[in-house]
Amino acid sequence: MTSSPPWQLRMFQKTLKKKLRLREFEKYLGKIPAEKRCLLVTCGDNNGAINYYLRALGGNWSFADVEDTALAEMSALLETEVAHAPGAKLVFPDAMFSIAIAIDVHEHLPDPAAFTAELQRVTRPGGRVLVTVPGGDPSKIVNRIKNRIGMTKEKYGHYRDGFSIIELQELLRASGIRPRRASSFSRLFTELIELGINFLYVNVLSKKNASAVKEGTIAPQTEDQLKSIEKTYRLYRLVYPFFWAFSQLDRLLFFSEGYVVVVEGEKGLVT
């Protein structure tokens, strides 16, 4: 009898935006040669599942997280140490990686330029840097709703709402990373569902946890946090197909920019 997959992977299969993000990375990265050293840096809203699926693309991976809440459970899932990166200071040597990825880290930091310089430092000359952040456009419908209902940047643990593609390209360029490609994903209908889920967790469900949930946490990061909302999560799994179907209406908005932006850059051969 086969055992069920780890809770992190089961949870990932019932997500919307995280699966879109993985699909976007697959487009950028393709199949990675085994000898390529790769780095993924995250910031709290991660239980290790995205690390697991990115590693399946190939390459030799190292991982780091700015927060320490889920480090132990992430390390157990991945069967390798996930480094702590307090203040987004990376522990890795210079020019170590062929590919360095940061998922939604910059908006959490008071000095995103310093973290971008760290990504540049640990990437080898000619290597690739791939960054995702919220777009933060205040004119977008869901972003306006967020502020109206109190889901401000502080609720997400952000110092700023996000970066436009141009702003992120400039941030990379200032650190010696030459922007190459850019894209966006997650449009109106997916964002409406995600906002509803985050609002419910932050304002109701997180308060049911026996231990305090750190401010800025918008979804369960540990198994204990997930177990504390087990009944609600069971209901969510039942209605997930309807949420997924509703999110597919995003296809009608293919002409619009998504709420999450992606920029890929290349570290210059001479720095």
CATH value at residue 51: 3.40.50.150
CB 126 within 8 A of CB 266: yes
> For residue 220, what pLDDT band results from cuts at 50, 70 and 90?
confident
Q: Give the pLDDT confidence score for residue 44 in this predicted structure.
A: 84
Q: Give the pLDDT confidence score for residue 152 in this predicted structure.
A: 92
Residue in 169, 188, 185, 181 with CA at minimum distance from that of residue 260: 185
In a domain, 1, yes or no: no
What is the end-to-end Cα distance of the chain in Å, rounded?
A: 55
Higher-confidence residue: 269 or 233?
A: 233
> For residue 230, what pLDDT band results from cuts at 50, 70 and 90?
confident
- What's the maximum distance between 2 C-alpha atoms anywhere in the chain? 55
Helix, strand, coil % in the chain, rounded to nearest 5: 45, 20, 35
In a domain, 128, yes or no: yes
Q: Give the pLDDT confidence score for residue 214 in this predicted structure.
A: 56
Domain count, the chain: 1
pLDDT for residue 23 is more than 90: yes
CB 42 within 8 A of CB 60: no
Residue 104 falls in which region: left (phi positive, over 0), alpha (psi -120 to 50) or beta: left
Residue range(s) defining the domain that contains residue 41: 7-267
- Weakest mean pLDDT among 117-126, 178-187, 211-220: 211-220
pLDDT for residue 216 is more than 50: no
Q: Give the pLDDT confidence score for residue 45 in this predicted structure.
A: 86
In a domain, 136, yes or no: yes
In a domain, 207, yes or no: yes
Q: Give the pLDDT confidence score for residue 28 in this predicted structure.
A: 98
